[in-house]
Amino acid sequence: MSIKKQFCKIFVFFGISLSFLLHADQQLEVLEVKTSTSYEISKNLPGELLPFQQSKIAFEITGRILSISADIGDKVKKGDLLAQLDDSEINASLEQALARLDLANQVLKRFEDLRKKGYISIQDYDEAKSEYLVAKSQVKFFEVKKSQTVLRAPYDGFIQNRFVDEGTVINGSNPILEILDANKVEAHVSIPENLITNLVMLNDYTFQIGQKTVFGKLKRLAPMAASGSNSRLAIFELNDFFIPGSLIDLVIKINRNKNGVWLPINSLSQSEQGLWSVYTVSNDGLNTVEKDIVQIIHFENNYAFVSGTLKDGDLVILGGLSKIIEGQTL
């Protein structure tokens, strides 16, 4: 029986072209095989989103908290005032130090004139200069102390926790607030040792968070597995911001060397003995239906990577396999 072929569409998937073969009043869909020496699979590894920076911030000195300007959930900018200590005692000490500096400066200027005229010894002049320098250092000391009575945001972020209330007397080790970075998050993923070779530092990788696909760059990789584990921690910096604590999946592409072809699942049939096979159309001029036994190597979505005797150019029949008989001509 002669057959008229009309190719009306061509698609490409995994390097395979799909064609539609029209025969008389029946449309038969076939696939033109393109073999490959390897195949790629996807593996999802679960991870967690953590803030790029997370800090418990505290005053550097002891004091009584005068005010707290931020609370849990507040968004703050770098440099924003978060809390302040009572600085009345330090202000008094600073005023005294400024007065002493002013007096020491006046004495030093007078002694400079007297020294030029030879009315005082070099020792008297040096003592006046030393007094001036000590007074100046005291002013600097109390200015630093005064600056330490205010607590400012170290970076843009959200307030995660508040640990004390106004009026509390604290020392320098007491955390006041906890802040999370508001601009960047990191994905922390445990990578099995057998998959480490699939990662390259600073390369971009695909992640799934819910129904959304995002990308992240591998920034850090633990040099060895944790005790009692066969996985190493990998840290990725994401291009987008998400609420820390969310779960995320790293999608790793793994390349495996194996001769075979990708086929849609609807081209495969299974015998009662469990053997998988496909039907092909021969190129003997008679368009004879032939049966080829294949071995399924990997399933992914609606496709399977199979090995067998298929070669480039073979036409595999798709769908309607229950109506196909080995040896019939089309």
Question: What would the pLDDT profile of 235-282 be if each residue is shown by its tens digit?
Answer: 999 988 888 888 999 999 888 999 999 999 989 988 888 899 999 998
Residue 71, number of CB atoms within 10 A of its CB: 11
Residue 26 pLDDT grade (very low, low, confident, very high; cuts 50, 70, 90) = low
Please name the residues in contact with 95: beta carbons below 8 A apart, sequence gap of 6 or more: none
Question: What would the pLDDT profile of 149-187 be if each residue is shown by its tens digit?
Answer: 999 999 999 999 999 999 999 988 899 999 999 888 999
Query: What is the pLDDT averaged over residues 94-98?
Result: 97
Structural domains for the chain: 11-39+259-323 (2.40.420.20), 44-53+182-255 (2.40.30.170), 55-180 (2.40.50.100)
pTM of structure: 0.65
The pair of structure tokens assigned to 322 is 């229950």
Which is more confidently placed, 12 or 302? 302
Question: What would the pLDDT profile of 42-77 be if each residue is shown by its tens digit?
Answer: 899 999 999 999 999 999 999 999 999 999 999 999
Distance from C-alpha of 163 to C-alpha of 175, rounded to nearest angstrom: 7
Give me the pLDDT at residue 297, please: 94
Classified as helix, coil or strand, 131 is: helix
Give percent above pLDDT 90 in the chain. Answer: 67
